[in-house]
Amino acid sequence: MSNKSLYGEQIIYLSKHPKNFRVIENAQYICEGANPLCGDRVTVYVNVSDDDTLEDVAFQGTGCAICMASASMMTTSVKGKKRAEAEQLFEEFHRLVKGELDPAREPHHLGKLTMFENVSHYPVRVKCASLPWHALRNALENKHSASTE
Amino acid sequence: MTAHAVLATPSTFDAAALRADFPTLQRTINGHPLVYLDNAATSQKPRVVIDRMNRFYTEEYSTVRRSIHLLSAKATQAYEQTRHLVAQLINAPEARQIIFTKGTTEGINLVAHGYGRKFVGKGDEIIISATEHHANIVPWQMLCEEKGAHLRVIPVDDRGELILEAYEKLLTDRTKLVAVGHISNALGTIHPVEEIIRLAHAQGVPVLVDGAQAAPHMPVDVQALDCDFYVFSGHKTYGPTGVGILYGKTAWLEQMNPFLGGGDMIETVTFEKTTYAPIPHKFEAGTPAIAEVIGLGTAIEYLRQVGLEAIAAYEHQLLEQATERLLAIPGVRIIGTASRKAAIISFVVDGIHPHDIGTLLDQEGIAIRAGHHCAQPVMARYGVPATARVSFAFYNLPSEIEALGAAIEKAIAVFAL
């Protein structure tokens, strides 16, 4: 497969064995994200501490490999971060998958999230990768649903 | 005509020769020859259709029915010629029973408006089926909401066949219309519309048939069916986008309210009152999609040359071959196993989401649909969030089915970590 392949081994592995795939009982923030055109659904659960740290982040849902792997990576990437840091990470991630941020040329905080770089070659799949992040952002804004539309 | 007409029986049907008529089918995708298996969404266009529309725009362009100059007279003639070709195609008694719409969706909305708002009242019921496309659900829901009427749904069994015993019980003196698909776009089931219509008529209830998936793939005879309305789309029928067909029985069309008001649909207008033009023009307000209607006429001529009997027989062979090939792959499950099916196959693969199948197949040049196919209630009925769907046309080849099978096996290998 070409080096622009969407499906790196890590993405496939995480889609089958996602981290933090669970419900947080009595979570402070819950948001169900949906992609109405394709039917992907991701519910994100967040607990935030008094000093604005995302103490626990988890998700449940159904979707394609890109969506599931992205949800898993989202939870592990923002856990322990402050709200503002999580927000900045989403901004960078969104630009990455839209092809507006070249991780080789621009400083960033993406870390392993760069595994989603090739999503930018598949414009119709950008929504799959960003859905869990939209759900996280809306959860933190105390909205209970998010849509990629 | 450059169509390679063949007096075809299935065994002599020359799909490979017919492919040459379709420019898009000559291209490659991601380094592979295009294997186009998304025909239920929209079909490719033969060169004759593209050329006809170009010729209209470059040499003959004018409006229809308004002006007295030569170009307009010629354009009107070409435009009306399509109406006659459509009438012949579906064996409508008269060309004036053919209404040009934007597509199947608009045709259904036209009936929901023109028939529904006039004849459906509080407490009345409209019957649809569990396998409908959203286009044959939402307009009726909107009507029911407005009128205080109720939507009733014919259930479907595990194989994807409508349960007629349940349908018979749904038909009551409150039923004002039955609206069913001829062929399910999500499952491929050919519905028993003859029986559905017969049972409805026994209660005096009119029936609309959504023929979007049928008209391009099998002979349709609206008089034999005895349906009250039949709708389909130009763009799935090897014609242009932006044009569709509504056939209606004259008595209904004449009683119905117009859909859009405006130019061309009037007889006389004063500020006190407007009287409407006779059918079909009552339903064709404004400047229509002239080039598209003319292009559709060419598509229908092409289709008739190839022959819908032969197309149906050949596509059935493709269905059987593809079904067998897919079932030979461990982990593949077909959703929709009705005894009468069109060449549409919905399937799921263990452990791989349909969207991932769609992307991996696209990398091999194979275009399929992945998702809910605008039929979310169907997905819910079979407990899947989405399916992958392959849908065939007469220009598809047995070798493309082999390419499909190999690409699915490759996708499974990619995900077998």
Q: What are B146-200's pLDDT values in tens digits? A: 999 999 999 999 999 999 999 999 999 999 999 999 999 999 999 999 999 999 9
Q: What secondary structure does DSSP assign to B77-134, as a single string?
A: HHHHHHHHHHHHHHT-S-GGGEEEESSHHHHHHHHIIIIIHHH--TT-EEEEETT--G
Every domain of chain B and the residues it spans: 10-33+307-415, 51-305
Please give the CATH topology (third level) of the domain spanning B51-305.
Aspartate Aminotransferase; domain 2 (3.40.640)
* Minimum Cα–Cα distance from A40: chain B residue: B385
Collapsed DSSP state (helix, strand, coil) of residue B276: strand
Residues B284 and B24: their CA atoms lie apart, in Å, by 32
Whole-prediction pTM = 0.92
Residue B209 to residues B47, B102, B129, Cα–Cα distance (Å): 30, 17, 11
Residues in chain B: 417
What is d(CA A66, CA A122) in angstroms, rounded to the nearest whole number?
A: 11
Taking the Cβ of residue B351 and every Cβ of chain A, the question of whether any pair is shorter than 8 Å is answered with: yes
Check if B119 contacts A (Cβ < 8 Å).
no
Distance CA B42, CA B216 (A): 10
Section B313-334 average pLDDT: 98
DSSP, residue by residue, B101-115: ESSHHHHHHHHIIII
| Residue range A69-84, pLDDT digits in tens | 999 999 999 999 999 9
Chain A residues with CB under 8 Å of a chain B CB are 1-2, 5-7, 9, 12-13, 16, 37-41, 62-67, 122, 125, 128
Give the per-residue pLDDT at B264.
Answer: 79
Residue range B99-150, pLDDT digits in tens? 999 999 999 999 999 999 999 999 999 999 999 999 999 999 999 999 999 9
Q: Is B413 an interface residue toward A (CB < 8 Å)?
A: no
Q: What is the mean pLDDT of residues B366-393?
A: 92
What would the mean pLDDT of B303-323 be, rounded to a whole number?
97
Which segments of B143-226 are extended strands (E)? 150-154, 175-181, 207-210
**CB atoms A65 and B354 under 8 Å:** no
Q: Return the number of CB contacts < 8 Å for A and B.
A: 51
Superfamily of B10-33+307-415 according to CATH: Aspartate Aminotransferase, domain 1 (3.90.1150.10)
Q: Which residues of B are catalytic?
A: 374
Shortest Cα distance, chain A CAs vs residue B15, angstroms: 31
Burial of B27 (0-12, 13-18, 19+ CB in 10 A): exposed
Higher pLDDT among residues B271 and A22, named by residue: A22
Task: Tell me, yes or no, if B372 comes closer than 8 A to chain A by beta carbon.
Answer: yes
Mean pLDDT, chain B, whole residue set:
94
B417 close contact with A: CB closer than 8 A: yes
Residue A3 confidence (pLDDT): 56
The predicted pLDDT at position A149 comes to 67
Mean pLDDT computed over B4-10: 46
The listed CATH number (3.90.1010.10, 3.30.110.40, 2.40.70.10, 3.30.450.30) that belongs to domain A9-142: 3.90.1010.10
